[in-house]
Copies of this chain bind each other. A is one copy, B any other.
Amino acid sequence: MSARDAGFAVTTDKTTVVRRIGVLGCGRIGRMHADILATQVPGFEVVAVADVVPAAAEAVAAATGARVSAIDELIGADDIDTVAICTSTDTHVELVVKAAAAGKAIFCEKPVSLDIGLVDTALAAVEQAGVPFMIGFNRRFDPGHKSVRDAVTGGTVGDIHLLRVTSRDPAPPPPEYVAVSGGIFLDMMIHDFDMARYVVGSDVVSVYATGAVRVDPRIGEAGDIDTAIAVLTHADGTITTIDNSREAVYGYDQRVEAFGSGGMAVSDNQPVHHGWSMTRESRGAQPLAWFFLDRYMESYRAEWRAFHAYLADGGPSPAGVDAARACTLAALAAKRSWREGRPVRTDEIG
């Protein structure tokens, strides 16, 4: 990890092309992206920010030196070449379509949509306009998870046979969120479907999913589950198992393990620091990072560096249209599998 990776000096190389970016949505995730773009990665200037809540936009504008703008005005602005779509999921498709039409490079938070037809609409607009597009599957860029992927592509794991992904949140969302989020497979496990495709390097062809309400009965009343398992079969024969829980009381549990003919590669949880103690009664250690803003901060920075390199150099997107579509497909297959109690092929969905 270089000093820069650790959040150190933000001094832009004179020869770096600076992307002029507008941030759409100034909630938790938009605010975080704006801060990273303004102070933690080189190559971006936050030119304008927009939010349906004016105070939210103003706060981010004040912190980053950007101007406040209306959404459509921002998308159409001549001094902006790139947009970051950080609004609520139900607005993503419309904004992607507009930004593509305006010829902007697009960074879009996941998922594009809960509806595979609308995903296709948005992605078709991107492809037709020929604009750069990246979906915010940030976990690919986590150094530990990436080391597992590298151990697969680099040969350490040999032929991959099994992948295990554990993803447990520290605390459940409010039940009202669950009602609109699409549920655990679409709002939470979708990250793990991306991890599976990314590490294995092969598409998901079928999904068996099951689960239960164990954490909060109100999640069940909202029509969802809070504890979920999925078994994925990939086109190359690899099998992935995923487990999710909405509440791991010990902190944000994020692990990936690839197993194959050559051995095993693991991305383990990391404590907040490496102090520990041992007494007559017990051995103590530090808790895990509490949630994604702590655990995955470096992945967000690396994501923006990858996006910048893609904009500068071309080539395939670090997380492109195919990932956006395939993960929604796998999530919908998982949801159907859970409901129907049988393995579901992804080609049954779309």
Question: Interface residue count for A (Cβ, 8 Å)?
Answer: 89
Q: Is the CB of A161 within 8 A of B32?
A: no
Within 8 A of B (CB), among A246-288: 247-250, 253, 259, 261-280, 282-288
In the complex, what residue of chain B is closest to A213 when comparing beta carbons?
Answer: B237
In the complex, what residue of chain B is closest to A288 when comparing beta carbons?
Answer: B278
Tell me if A15 is interfacial: C-beta within 8 Å of chain B.
no
Q: Is the CB of A11 within 8 A of B59?
A: yes
Tell me if A215 is interfacial: C-beta within 8 Å of chain B.
yes
Q: Give the dominant DSSP class at A's interface.
A: mixed
B residues in contact with A261, CB < 8 Å: 214-215, 247, 249
Would you give the shortest CB distance from A128 to chain B, in whole angstroms?
Answer: 37
A168 to B143, CA, bound (A): 25
Q: A245-B162, A250-B263, A293-B6 are in contact. Are A144 and B274 (CB under 8 A)?
A: yes
Tell me if A196 is interfacial: C-beta within 8 Å of chain B.
no
Q: A7-B7, A9-B35, A214-B159 are in contact. Are A263 and B279 (CB under 8 A)?
A: yes
**Which of A69-77, A129-137, A204-212 participates in binding chain B?**
A204-212
Q: Would you mind naming 27 contact pairs between A and B with Cβ atoms under 8 Å apart? A: A1-B272, A6-B293, A6-B294, A7-B297, A8-B293, A9-B63, A11-B59, A39-B40, A147-B277, A158-B249, A161-B215, A162-B227, A210-B343, A211-B239, A214-B237, A214-B261, A229-B241, A231-B241, A241-B243, A249-B263, A262-B280, A266-B276, A267-B273, A267-B275, A270-B274, A284-B284, A342-B342
Q: Which residues of A contact B (CB under 8 A)?
A: 1-3, 5-11, 31-32, 35, 39-40, 59, 63, 142-148, 151, 156-159, 161-162, 164, 168, 208, 210-212, 214-215, 227, 229, 231, 233, 237, 239, 241, 243, 245, 247-250, 253, 259, 261-280, 282-290, 293-294, 297, 341-343
Q: Which 5 pairs of residues, A with B, have the shortest CB-CB distance?
A: A147-B275, A7-B7, A263-B279, A143-B273, A283-B285
